[in-house]
Structure 1
Amino acid sequence: MPKRLLSHTLIFNDSSKAKYLHDLGNFCRSYSYNPEAQLYGQSSGGPYFDSQAGGGHVTTVVSSASGGVPTHGMVGITMDVGSSHIISSGSTYLIHGGNMEGSRIASHKSSLLNSHLQWLLDNYETAEGVSLPRSSLYNHYLRHCQEQKLDPVNAASFGKLIRSVFMGLRTRRLGTRGNSKYHYYGIRVKPDSPLNRLQEDTQYMAMRQQPVHQKQRFKPLQKVDSMSDSLCGSSQHCSSTPEQSVAAQSQHHQQYIDMSHSLPPFPTPDLGTQPLPERINMNDIKKLQTLYRDHCEATLDVVMNLQFHYIEKLWQTFWYSTPPPSDGSTTLPSRSERKRGKKASKLVALCKYEPVRLWMRSCDHILYQALVEILIPDVLRPVPSTLTQAIRNFAKSLEGWLTNAMTSFPQEIIRTKVAVVSAFAQTLRRYTSLNHLAQAARAVLQNTSQINQMLSDLNRVDFANVQEQASWVCQCDESVVQRLEQDFKVTLQQQSSLDQWATWLDNVVSQVLKPHQGSPSFPKAARQFLLKWSFYSSMVIRDLTLRSAASFGSFHLIRLLYDEYMFYLVEHRVAQATGETPIAVMGEVRVFKERGRNSLSYAATDSFSSKLQFSDLTSMMPSLMEKGSSSFFI
């Protein structure tokens, strides 16, 4: 029959707890423990022992009120310490088996365990979809032990501790063949941890401590950043590019981009009644669909990992662009090169087919819109300058990379793809500029004295005169203008935050465009609103300038921000109304400019310019020619 020892509450600090364990272990030496693990809180009874075998096994339950292990929200922490097995839950410890050889050893092991646990909880956190090299984590631990003069446990014991603290951790083998490493999946270094300053495995961690997609096809074969470091001698100063700086700080920058974004589905090519090109069948088009989808997913993965400099290589690989030999020599093509040439010629034939070109353009609109939403998910949120500058440099390089990769392809497909890439690059430049303006304006809107000065100067503006001058051009409803004026003053007087101003601007757009909702004239009305908003605000700034307003600089900054944000809002409203992406809407602007250049060039070179009809100009420039068309040419 089982015997029960004296029932009582156990509340000890580390030293008294160790002594109690030693004495109780000697007292219960003749009892074997119940294999059912039992945990007792501070008010629960003592443990149960079985009176049968007299082995040296004992189960002791101790509840500590001294808070040896910090509260962390995890359930159950296990670790091998010597010959004992410690399990803790909250402030409760369960030690399985083994003799406690002295209070000093037990106290040392307990404090060592607490130190390890505290270090883990201070520097790491669970995160869905990220991974961390197992060796890097153990190296961090060894470094910590060396700095704190602690005795480290072996890798196996440390692994048990990790899995117990961070429940649900999985191990994955990641990396290219022959260079793979074991990773803990579901854990990352905390953004504010000093471990982020360590330089070991920086490039590898930057690439891997991101969400792992099911089809991550592109894996860089070279670590450019580490190679450049190794090529720099100790006496030579190497300046890093913004892109390399982003790669080194990617753990910090993860929080500023949208890591959860995935590539939306692509449409299928609309072949219509057009016959297929010679030597092209439906199977070739289906293969192209699969290959292009893979290519776009690889592009998204690379951008999400902030590895912008790999985009050029990706494009060269897909478009079969082979750089010439550095020594200028020519050699006979190998068998693989001849096979590659056949594939390239088939891709060229497919790109000459108009339905394929239009399908690629639609896919590019979807891809680049996804990239914009990944890199700049919130145009008003503060972003580090290193990330912003890297994005701008990336945008500056895109057109050159693409045209160089597609030199052997027809001009039609090059123009189609460059138009979309140009819209993407322009969008990145506009959004980063808008973000920069937002951060500068935030300081103004948070300054009470500046806000009071702005309100005082604004009340001196002769809005009746402004309205009289603007009405001839804008032809706005006077009641609407007066309401906006009063709303602006009230919002300014309330010292609203930037987010509150953004909400106000969004409401203005909604109110003005509501009558045109669902109408084919919606895009035209949206463009007209932008023109009128810009003209009216410029008249207010003009009045402030003539009055030498003390807050003119603040108003000028606010006006720039609000104009840009209005453009951003209208762009998205038009895209939503037309069922297109904002990238597609901006891509039409480039097409419009190309048509205008071609048409005007034709009119200048051909004395018989009757083919360039006035109606053509009207359709090309609807925002400028809506009213009083003839006055445009005066």
Structure 2
Amino acid sequence: MHMSTSAQATLIPVQQQQHRYQPIDQYPYEGGEVIFPNTTFPHIYQMYGQGGGGYIDSQTRSQVTNNMEVENFQRSSGIASHKSTQDNIHLNWLKDNLEVAREGSVCRCSLYGNYLRHCQGQKLEPVNKPSLGKHIHSVFPDLKKRRLGTRGNSRYHYYGIRVKPNSLLSKLQEDQEYMLTGKQPIHQEQSVMDCMSDPSDGSQRPINTPEQLEASQSLQHLQQYMNISRDLPRFPTLDHLCSQPLPKKDVNELQTLYRKNCEAILDVVKNLQFHRIEKLWQSFWCSTVPSSDRATVNPNSNGAMEGMIPKDNLVALCKYEHVRMWMRSCDSILYEAMVEILIPNVLCKVNSNLIRDIRKFAKSVEGWTTTPMRDFPQEVVCSKVEVVRAFSQMLHRYTTLNHVAQQARFQLQNASTMNKLLDDLNKVDFTSIQKQASWVCQCDEGDVRNLEQNLKAALRQQSSGDQWATWLDVVVSQVLKPDQDNKKCVEDARQFLLKWSFYSSMVIRDVTLRTSPTSGTCHLIRMLYDEYMLYLVERWVAKDTKQMVIAVIGEFNKLSTGTDYTSE
């Protein structure tokens, strides 16, 4: 076979140069690539891989190498593109279902389990736990890991995030809770009154749409945890508080309109429309109503809003000390009624969505109350701040107490845990504790011995949560005796709480030093008893001094901070 002299490449017979070349289906070219039969370049294999006397030149070899590099690049780019798409899907799922929350936490195992269910439902390939953790940290860089829970039941949590309330993950968790507890899940937090009421005229619209029906069912579900039958008690009469004459017409209008405004606030609380409280206070104090609210107010001939006291007259009335005292009494009645509506029993289970909404409300209520009063005397603003802060503290403490009660209830109902706790308490030297604490507390040894025996008897009898609450109530009634002197009554209550806390801390110290496996349970139960004991003592003081509980908490706040709000 003759070759043309114009050929640019040197052709070599494959069969004649077997010592230099191998069949093309086994030949390793530059870059470590091997061309196998029936691949991307079948024509080359057919020409040179059959062993039929074909020739291979350097130009063809270079072309084959370049084509292979292009193919490998396209293949690797496709894999990288697919991986990037998968990562974006995982990141979007995290962003859609989680949000930053300073005190929030999400169980790591539960989150990964829900992530696997999501991938299974969407036919996606899931990543492993470490990879998902890297994705979470890339979305939430300030995230921390903490081990939360009692000893033996603790789990690692992502601390600093929470599940978004309206996300698909939140609904999935509620569905799981429904399967475990039988409680109806809540998939929408919109209040039924928002769907049925017309902001322009306050009229009620019938429930026609599926959204309105679902909102109505959600509200009814949450209201089963509340006491919506609670009405607003009677307010004191302003005339009886005043030792000096006031404008008769303005006083009557103030009493009537203030009462109507408080009744409206109580109604929106029953329907969980907390955001409307700010607008109600704004309308009463004659402040500018935000443009987002479609309600329109027409001023009368005196420049005041229809059905409202002229603002100048209201400011003048608030300068009287008796009027401020009357408003303080009315506010105390209103806020205590709101607490009894939202949390009628601090030990009974309350829906987690309701607890979350109450805590948000407690953080916002002070601003909603005081913002519309910027032009009013500082004395009346400070007086209202004192009451609303006590109300906010009550909501925060009662929701905390309710949460602790639900966590401790599982331990109290566990017979094995209670038996181990009784064994650990039998090892505690209460006589030594009494001697150590006698100088500080100066308690009667008989009273301390009775408390010890009653505590161990309750553990031995596997008492329920309600029985424990009854026992604590009996302890308060036995230790604290009624007294005509209110100051002495409050001082006795404070001393009892200090002694109770000191003794319980000594017992906890002894259990902890023994490295007992029940120390976590012991800490949890002690936290419950301390919180509930404070709750009972406050009510006992209020009853003995003939005050409202919110007033007692306000007095405690002034004692602890040394602040006199009325003098600010």
Q: TM-score, normalised by structure 2?
A: 0.60
Q: What corresponds to 1:421 in structure 2?
A: 388
The answer as to 2:238 corresponding to 1:269 is yes
The answer as to 2:534 corresponding to 1:545 is no
Cα distance 1:479–1:199, how it changes in 2: closer, same or farther (>3 A)? closer
Q: What corresponds to 1:300 in structure 2?
A: 266
Q: What corresponds to 1:287 in structure 2?
A: 253
Q: What corresponds to 1:313 in structure 2?
A: 279
Whole-angstrom distance in 1 between the partners of 2:390 and 2:189 = 38
Equivalent position amino acid for 1:265 in 2: R
SS of 1:573's equivalent in the other structure is helix
The answer as to 2:482 corresponding to 1:511 is no
Give how far 1:334 is off. 7.3
SS of 1:285's equivalent in the other structure is helix
In the alignment of these two chains, the number of paired residues is: 375
- Residues 31-430 of structure 1 aligned to structure 2 (within 5 Å): 203-204=192-193, 249-269=218-238, 274-276=243-245, 281-322=247-288, 338-340=303-305, 343-430=310-397
Cα distance 1:219–1:522, how it changes in 2: closer, same or farther (>3 A)? farther
Deviations 1:83-103 (A, max 9, x none): xxxxxxxxxxxxxxxxxxxxx
Q: What corresponds to 1:471 in structure 2?
A: 438
SS of 1:338's equivalent in the other structure is coil
Cα distance 1:508–1:197, how it changes in 2: closer, same or farther (>3 A)? closer
Deviations 1:3-46 (A, max 9, x none): xxxxxxxxxxxxxxxxxxxxxxxxxxxxxxxxxxxxxxxxxxxx
In terms of Rg, which structure is larger?
A: 2
Give how far 1:205 is off. 8.9
Q: Retained in 1: the 8 A contact 2:191–2:215?
A: no
Whole-angstrom distance in 1 between the partners of 2:511 and 2:375 = 56
Give how far 1:274 is off. 4.6
Cα distance 1:558–1:578, how it changes in 2: closer, same or farther (>3 A)? same
SS of 1:452's equivalent in the other structure is helix
Q: Retained in 2: the 8 A contact 1:509–1:569?
A: yes
Q: Determine which structure has greater relative contact order: mean sequence separation of CA pairs < 8 Å that are 6+ residues apart, divided by chain length.
A: 2
Equivalent position amino acid for 1:300 in 2: L
The structure with the greater share of residues assigned to helix is 2
SS of 1:339's equivalent in the other structure is coil
Unaligned runs of 5+ in 2: 1-180, 293-297
Give how far 1:339 is off. 2.9
Q: What corresponds to 2:52 in structure 1?
A: none
Cα distance 1:423–1:417, how it changes in 2: closer, same or farther (>3 A)? same
Whole-angstrom distance in 2 between the partners of 1:574 and 1:310 = 34
Give how far 1:342 is off. 7.4
Q: What corresponds to 1:454 in structure 2?
A: 421
Q: Retained in 1: the 8 A contact 2:254–2:309?
A: no
Q: Retained in 1: the 8 A contact 2:343–2:398?
A: yes
Whole-angstrom distance in 1 between the partners of 2:442 and 2:215 = 49
Deviations 1:497-536 (A, max 9, x none): 100000000011111113x455542222111111110111
Whole-angstrom distance in 1 between the partners of 2:189 and 2:371 = 35
Q: What corresponds to 1:623 in structure 2?
A: none
Whole-angstrom distance in 1 between the partners of 2:508 and 2:201 = 52
Q: Retained in 2: the 8 A contact 1:348–1:409?
A: yes
Equivalent position amino acid for 1:307 in 2: Q
Whole-angstrom distance in 2 between the partners of 1:471 and 1:381 = 37
Q: Retained in 2: the 8 A contact 1:246–1:390?
A: no
Whole-angstrom distance in 2 between the partners of 1:457 and 1:482 = 17
Q: Retained in 2: the 8 A contact 1:218–1:298?
A: no
Equivalent position amino acid for 1:266 in 2: F
Between 552-561 and 448-457, report the one with greater CA deviation: 448-457
Q: Retained in 1: the 8 A contact 2:349–2:406?
A: yes
The answer as to 2:469 corresponding to 1:502 is yes
SS of 2:355's equivalent in the other structure is helix
Whole-angstrom distance in 1 between the partners of 2:461 and 2:183 = 41
Cα distance 1:407–1:469, how it changes in 2: closer, same or farther (>3 A)? same
Give how far 1:589 is off. 2.6
Quote the RMSD (CA, aligned, Å): 3.6
Q: TM-score, normalised by structure 1?
A: 0.54
Q: What corresponds to 1:561 in structure 2?
A: 528
Q: Retained in 1: the 8 A contact 2:363–2:392?
A: yes
The percentage of aligned residue pairs carrying the same residue is 55
Deviations 1:607-632 (A, max 9, x none): xxxxxxxxxxxxxxxxxxxxxxxxxx
Give how far 1:206 is off. 7.8
Deviations 1:332-383 (A, max 9, x none): x976793349711111111111100000001111111111111111100001
SS of 1:401's equivalent in the other structure is helix
Deviations 1:185-222 (A, max 9, x none): xxxxxxx99999898997349879xxxxxxxx998579
Whole-angstrom distance in 2 between the partners of 1:246 and 1:474 = 55
Q: What corresponds to 1:532 in structure 2?
A: 499
Equivalent position amino acid for 1:250 in 2: L
Give how far 1:417 is off. 0.5
Cα distance 1:282–1:367, how it changes in 2: closer, same or farther (>3 A)? same
Cα distance 1:475–1:259, how it changes in 2: closer, same or farther (>3 A)? same
Q: Retained in 2: the 8 A contact 1:271–1:355?
A: no
Cα distance 1:517–1:273, how it changes in 2: closer, same or farther (>3 A)? closer
Cα distance 1:265–1:537, how it changes in 2: closer, same or farther (>3 A)? same
Give how far 1:588 is off. 1.7
Equivalent position amino acid for 2:272 in 1: L
Whole-angstrom distance in 1 between the partners of 2:433 and 2:381 = 48
Deviations 1:468-512 (A, max 9, x none): 111111100000000100100010111111000000000111111
Q: Retained in 2: the 8 A contact 1:257–1:374?
A: yes
Whole-angstrom distance in 1 between the partners of 2:529 and 2:200 = 40
Whole-angstrom distance in 2 between the partners of 1:390 and 1:355 = 35
The answer as to 2:449 corresponding to 1:482 is yes
Equivalent position amino acid for 2:192 in 1: Q
Q: Retained in 1: the 8 A contact 2:382–2:565?
A: no
Whole-angstrom distance in 1 between the partners of 2:189 and 2:448 = 60
Whole-angstrom distance in 1 between the partners of 2:268 and 2:310 = 25
Q: Retained in 2: the 8 A contact 1:246–1:387?
A: no
Whole-angstrom distance in 2 between the partners of 1:368 and 1:595 = 23
Deviations 1:214-244 (A, max 9, x none): xxx9985799xx99x99xxxxxxxxxxxxxx
Whole-angstrom distance in 1 between the partners of 2:232 and 2:519 = 45
